[in-house]
Amino acid sequence: MSNYTKSTNFATKDNLSAGNALKRVKGAEIDDEFNSLATAIATKANSNNTALTGVPVAPTASASTNSTQIATTAYTTTAVAASATTAAQINGHAYPVGSVYTSVVATNPATLLGVGVWTAFGAGKVMLGAGGGYTAGDTGGATTDSHALTTAEIPAHSHSITQRGIQGATYDFQEAITGQSGGSTITINTANTGGGGLHTHDIMQPYIVVYIWKRAS
């Protein structure tokens, strides 16, 4: 791309005397000027829909520039670097302090996410949504897989014994057992069934074990 530079100053010829040979405008001078103009024009870009070739250059704007000025590669590189968000920054927003992270991999989330201090959380416990009388951070429930029912926890129930009479006579239940009428009372205990003593009940829901971490800072 070249610029046009005038070779002949035609205006100075006007001040020359009529007999001065330099006052005349020569055809060669005109050709030289037109050729220079043609070369300069041919190497200039059009103002509309220009396809630039080579490596055109332009001044680089400052980082705070907000205008229609052309952005050079130097400006773009600087601007992108200044506004780039790292993976750790993204993870930091996705997992703020207090977040819980679960995984089947034992690696500390600080290593995986590149942000925060994480501590093991809720070992041997399942998580329960806050609300409905439960406050975040509360703990409760049984600490074992099974629970021995107490008498108060056993549903109310009764046992029946079939009364059998003695042939040819009428006796009440007590008489049928003791073989006598008007005798003293007697206590009858039914036989035990099952494992004896208090019976345990499995209180664990179906589960799968994972690693749970909480972001502390």
Q: Is 178 contained in some domain?
A: no
pLDDT per position as a tens digit, 60-91: 988 888 899 888 999 888 888 887 788 888 89
C-alpha angle 124-128-131 in degrees, rounded to nearest 5: 150
121 with 210, same domain?
A: yes
Which domain range does residue 31 map to? 1-45
Residue 1, pLDDT score: 53
Task: Please count the structural domains in the chain.
Answer: 2
pLDDT surpasses 70 at 151: yes
Q: Is 120 contained in some domain?
A: yes
Rounded Cα distance between 56 and 61, Å, is 16
Q: pTM for the complete prediction? A: 0.48
pLDDT per position as a tens digit, 11-55: 888 888 888 888 888 888 888 888 888 888 887 777 777 777 788
Task: Name the strands in the sheet holding 211-215, side by side, starting at the edge strand that comes first in the sequence.
Answer: 100-103, 211-215, 118-120
103 with 209, same domain?
A: yes
Q: Is 72 contained in some domain?
A: no
Q: Is 95 contained in some domain?
A: yes
Q: Is 167 contained in some domain?
A: no
